[in-house]
Chain A
Amino acid sequence: MNISWYIALSAVLFSIGAGGLVARRSPLVMLLCLELMLNGANLSLVAFARMHGDGGGQIFALVVMVVAACEVVVGLGLIVALYRNRLPIDIDELDHLKDPQKADSAL
């Protein structure tokens, strides 16, 4: 297969992820959309590694996977903390930084 097919596919996946990130309101689904974007980038990294026949791109993809795992752990920890503090799991409602009164009542 031509390498450009893989790059085009990764562009499509990245765009779908970016659109979903803007379109959805639940932080959980937004994290899933972030995963989509990271995976799209990963696919292009592995395709470029194949293009040059060099393993460096694959190491890069592995590091991206580690960063994605860290992002998931911290993001899900934040969601669990939101749930414990009885805050809404909805990014439209989570504007406490903009509204100091709301922040005081949340604490």
Chain B
Amino acid sequence: MVLQGILFFIAAAGAIGGAVAVVLLRNPFFSVLALVCHLFALAVLFLLLYAQFIAAAQLIVYAGAVMVLYVFVVSYVGGADEPIDEGGGAPRALAPIFAGALLVVLALALAGSALTLLDTNGAKLPDNGNAYGTPEQIGELLLTKYLLPFEVASFLLTVAAVCAVVLARRRRGLEELTDDSPLLGEGLGKR
């Protein structure tokens, strides 16, 4: 239990440090790298919460695939350094105050919560074979109780993939959208 506490505070420091670095670093490329550190720390926290499958998916999907996509786009667009404190107006200067106020509201909600279980270490986990948070349990839940969210999520991924192809194809403005030829076929043909 002591070891878990030590690990929690190390991972929490990593997660908060990574998050602050994402916001404060001026070069978008370094921001992406800071987010990778943040995601690794979060995966450790998920493991501490016995969510093995979520931790693995976090590492593979997020820190792997999504971050590679980010790095590609940053190097394609050319991540120019952005001055943090210059320009903008009142809304941008108020950002730290906004974040602090949001934190205060969330802390009040947590402190005033009637959830008595919050002060425990969590429910007692079963000792039998169908352990908590394993791929077996997640897979069984996904294909039985939560089949509809699973299918909706896969449909959403398909829509997003088609959307990305349509958005990123080579064109100027919206003139091609008014053509009478099929939208997607034409877009793919001109690539």
A residues lining the B interface (CB < 8 Å): 1-9, 11-20, 22-26, 28-29, 31-33, 35-36, 39, 42-43, 46-47, 49-56, 58-59, 61-63, 65-70, 72-74, 76-81, 83-85, 89, 92, 106-107
Contact = CB atoms under 8 A, between A and B. Distances in A.
A16 B107 contact: no
Contacts of B118: 2-4, 7, 51
A74 B102 contact: no
B148 to A, nearest CB: 11
A107 B35 contact: no
Given A15-B99, A28-B77, A77-B163, A36 B69 contact: no
Contacts of A74: 160, 163-164, 167
Interface string B86-124: 011001101110111011001100100001011111111
A7 B94 CA distance: 25
A40 B11 CA distance: 14
A85 B169 CA distance: 11
B10 interface: no
Contact of B28 (A5, A29, A78, A107): A29
Interface of B is mostly: helix
A51 B51 CA distance: 12
Nearest to A86: B172
A25 to B, nearest CB: 6
12 contacts: A4-B110, A6-B45, A16-B20, A17-B23, A25-B82, A55-B133, A56-B141, A58-B54, A72-B69, A73-B160, A74-B160, A77-B168
Nearest to B134: A55
